[in-house]
Amino acid sequence: MRSAQPERIAMQNWSVRIAVVIVLLLSLRIGSIQADDELTNAEPLVIPTVEATALNLVGTNSCAAGSCHGGARLSEGRSFAAYQIWMRKDPHSTAYSVLSNESSSRMMALLYPKENGPAPHATKEARCLNCHVTTEPSGDLQVPPTSHAVADGVGCESCHGPAKQWLGLHSTIAWRGMSADAKSSLGFVDTTADLAGRAQLCANCHVGSPGRDVNHDLIAAGHPRLNFEFSAFHANLPKHWDAQSPRSTEIQDIEQDSAFEAKAWLTGQLVTAQTSVRLMQHRTKEPQPWPELSEYACFSCHHDLKENSWYQSRGRSTGRFAWGTWNYGMMPALAHDAAANGQFESLKTLMEESFPERAAVRQRAGDLDLVLSKLISEASSRDYSKQGMDQLALQMIDLSRDGDLPAESWDQTAQLYLAIVAISLAREKTAPGDPLNLTIQNELEAIRQKLLFDKNLDSPQEYSGSQIDVILRRLHGIQEALTTADRVNR
Ligand code: HEC
Ligand code: HEC
Ligand code: HEC
Ligand code: HEC
């Protein structure tokens, strides 16, 4: 482990971003297409011309014709206007252009020592392009993609699959009759069918994967830390599809399931953990820096050293590094059977040793990977009735027993908060009119207030014992309400 200097190190804007997620999440209105979503009065689009000659990618322009997905009227269906929504509202359409902004240049300058001459431009750097533009899924991620539509940023084919082999058929009537397997053999990615697959798609870039890694070097150079939580990110993605109205019969409407948010949350947690454990196996290989510091709680090293800081007062010695507080924050409650929990704990114990050995970590990470596959396949068949979801929420809150888990870590508290938000959104749809919904929402709002940072701060430096105590009280308020409801229901 590289030794951390015990001075207070200024944190960059990583934590602001999760605050943004939280703010957006609570201002979310599901179900209504708002008037300002109408795209009809918008100025005509100028479609940039770009080269699109790679093997399987055709470029986003190929989807943008008025009769395909470039329609401007939402009344004709959101998927008809998909291109317009993506272009005007979706953060992915600017993913390439941000590589030319000031913070990208600063990042590149810090990543490349001056002695070796001027740093390359981020738009020429494979380690940035792999996440910030559309790449061939099976392509060599070490080679910068230069020959296709890089300027589109994260375009349609990043999520729906390289279209060269299916685009022609897709616009014919024959497409409807084709089986899912036949479509997928042409490279089409069916985002409608499988929640775990959908979460995996996002996690490849938002958690990372071999060849796509926001490690501590990038974070220290100024890249935002990746704080991915699937249900919140999914909710924040501007919908270019008809999530609320019935679609054709061959489409499984997973979003119209009243338990959607709860399922998305649980599936997302497990897929995030699995993606992270796979990335970790890659990180253990030479010549990557090891141990990889971004695996650990940032505040293990970057803590406020004033006496009795919240961190120390909650029993963490400053010499120990807490591992996996974001990507595995809820694992102790999710790995419900003893075997799964054992695998998780054994990896955690190893990672929290002073110098975890690469090969041993790779081995245990591989074991946990297998366990996670099983948990993911079981996630969709859990009990998602109101009672089932209440049990799930209680199981999560149980992590805070004895002032344990969330008390010592902003990461885990924020994760716990997002968990209960997702479950309560699903609860509201499953049991509309249940007065308990409002009680939970009020407690959640109080918790959210305590998780936000002061205006002038960009990290929870002032996250203190008194804040934690309020949060714990509110959590236990929810716990009590749910437990009482459970007793009444029996
Ligand atoms: C593992 C995928 C991944 C890699 C690798 C990556 N990024 Fe990012 N980047 C993201 C994601 C995801 C976000 C959005 C962060 C969020 O909100 O969670 C982002 C955000 C950014 C932002 C902030 C955008 C804004 O709105 O201000 C900049 C700038 C940026 N990246 C530049 C870079 C540069 C430069 C590199 C290469 C040195 C790079 N990125 C490598 C995934 C990646
Ligand atoms: C960040 C990933 C992502 C990007 C980029 C993206 N989509 Fe989607 N798309 C999704 C997800 C997730 C869904 C919702 C699941 C579903 O219904 O397929 C979806 C749904 C759709 C649907 C509805 C599918 C159906 O059968 O009803 C269409 C059409 C569509 N997208 C077209 C596009 C087009 C065109 C673009 C580019 C302009 C694009 N998408 C870019 C992720 C993405
Ligand atoms: C090919 C990589 C890639 C994939 C796949 C991808 N994203 Fe992204 N995503 C990015 C990058 C890069 C950014 C930052 C773009 C920017 O700031 O301009 C981003 C930004 C976002 C943001 C805005 C975050 C913020 O802090 O404002 C949301 C929300 C988001 N993505 C959701 C999703 C979801 C949901 C999926 C899966 C359906 C997904 N993304 C799939 C790369 C990806
Ligand atoms: C094991 C200790 C350790 C952990 C854990 C750790 N860091 Fe660091 N961090 C350092 C050290 C040492 C430096 C200075 C040297 C360097 O740049 O690598 C640093 C530098 C930084 C910098 C640049 C700060 C500056 O002022 O130059 C940022 C930003 C940063 N870390 C953010 C994070 C975030 C976010 C996390 C959690 C994902 C994290 N760190 C986890 C030890 C750590």
How would you write the pLDDT of the chain (490 residues) with one tens digit per residue?
333 332 223 333 333 334 444 443 333 322 222 333 444 444 433 333 333 334 588 889 889 988 899 988 877 778 889 999 999 999 999 999 999 999 999 999 999 988 889 999 999 898 999 999 988 765 555 544 555 568 889 999 999 998 989 999 998 999 988 998 999 999 899 888 789 999 999 999 999 999 899 999 999 999 999 999 999 999 999 999 887 766 655 555 677 788 999 999 999 999 999 999 999 999 999 999 999 999 998 877 876 533 344 444 444 444 568 899 899 989 988 887 888 889 999 999 999 998 999 999 999 999 999 999 999 999 989 999 999 999 999 999 988 775 555 545 788 888 999 999 999 999 999 999 999 999 999 999 998 888 876 665 555 555 666 777 888 889 889 999 999 887 777 6
- CA 259/CA 383 separation, integer angstroms: 10
Closest CA to 63 of 200, 160, 135, 129: 160
- pLDDT of res. 465: 65
Ligand minimally distant from the alpha carbon of residue 133: 3
For the stretch 417-428, what's the b/e string if a residue is b when 16 or more beta carbons lie within 10 angstroms of its beta carbon? bbbbbbbbbbbb
Whole-Å CA distances, 486 to 344, 399, 420:
30, 19, 17
The answer to whether the CB of 134 is under 6 A from ligand 2 is no
Report the pLDDT value the prediction gives residue 411, as an integer from 0 to 100: 86
Q: Pick the atom of ligand 3 nearest to 97's CA.
A: 18
Straight-line distance from the first to the last Cα atom of the chain, in angstroms, rounded to the nearest whole number: 52
How many angstroms does the Cα of residue 118 sit away from the middle of ligand 1? 21
Q: Which residues pair with 296 in a beta bridge?
A: 323
How far does the centroid of ligand 4 lie from the alpha carbon of residue 294, in Å?
8
Of residues 13, 27, 111, the one with CA closest to residue 445:
27
β-partners of residue 209 are: 212
CA 212 to each of CA 68, 133, 159, 216, 291: distance values in angstroms, whole numbers, following the listed order: 32, 12, 16, 13, 18
Tokens of 235: 């909710």
**Triad 258, 260, 262: Cα angle to 5°:** 110
Evaluate whether 322 touches 411 at the Cβ level (below 8 Å).
Answer: no
Other CB atoms within a 10 A radius of the CB of residue 486 amount to 13
Taking the centre of ligand 2 as the mean of its atom positions, its distance from the CA of residue 160, in whole angstroms, is 7
Name the closest-CA residue to atom 3, ligand 2.
159
141 vs 70: CA distance, rounded Å: 30
Give residue 241 CA to ligand 2 midpoint distance, Å: 6
Q: Considering only CA atoms, which residue is closest to atom 18 of ligand 1? A: 226
Residue 31 CA to ligand 1 center (angstroms) comes to 30
Kindly list the protein residues whose Cβ atom lies closer than 6 A to any atom of ligand 4. 1-2, 4-5, 9-12, 14, 216, 219-220, 225, 293-294, 296, 298, 300-302, 321
Which residues, judged by CB distance below 6 Å to any ligand atom, belong to the binding site of ligand 1? 17, 98-99, 101, 103-104, 107, 122, 125, 127-128, 130-132, 205-206, 208, 212-214, 218, 223-224, 226
Structure tokens at 470: 């309020």
Provide the CB-side half-sphere exposure for 424 (13 A, CA). 25
The amino acid at 351: M
- What local confidence, expressed as pLDDT, does residue 391 receive? 93
Residue with CA at minimum distance from ligand 2 atom 1: 159
Task: Please give the structure tokens belonging to residue 303.
Answer: 């803590």
Residue 167 Cα to ligand 1 midpoint, Å, equals: 29
| Closest-approaching ligand to the CA atom of 255 | 2
Report yes or no: 215 and 4 within 8 Å, Cβ to Cβ. Answer: no
Ligand 4, atom 34, lies closest to the CA of: 298
Distance 283 CA to ligand 4 centre (A): 17
The pLDDT of residue 199: 96
Phi, psi of 93 (to 5 degrees): -75, -15
Q: Is the CB of 241 under 6 A from ligand 2?
A: yes
Give, as one character, the DSSP assignment of residue 252.
Answer: -
User: Ligand 2 pocket, 251 CB below 6 A?
Assistant: yes
Angstrom distance (rounded) from CA 332 to CA 336: 7
Residue 297 near residue 411 (C-beta atoms within 8 A) = yes
Ligand nearest to the CA of 221: 4
State CA 238 to chain mean position distance.
Answer: 15
d(CA 465, CA 467): 5
Question: Helices 386-397 and 465-489 meet at what angle, rounded to 10?
Answer: 150
Q: Is 92 in the pocket of ligand 2 (CB under 6 A)?
A: yes
398: nearest Cα among 333, 485, 345, 344:
333
Q: Residue 316: count other Cβ atoms within 10 Å of its Cβ.
A: 19
Cα 440 to ligand 4 centroid, rounded to whole Å: 36
**Minimal-distance CA residue to ligand 2 atom 38:** 83
- Quickly count: other Cβ atoms within 10 Å of residue 371's Cβ: 21
Distance CA 445, CA 352 (A): 34
CA distance 271 to 251: 23
Closest CA to 481 of 442, 446, 445, 451: 442
Q: How far apart are CA 402 and CA 392, in angstroms?
A: 19
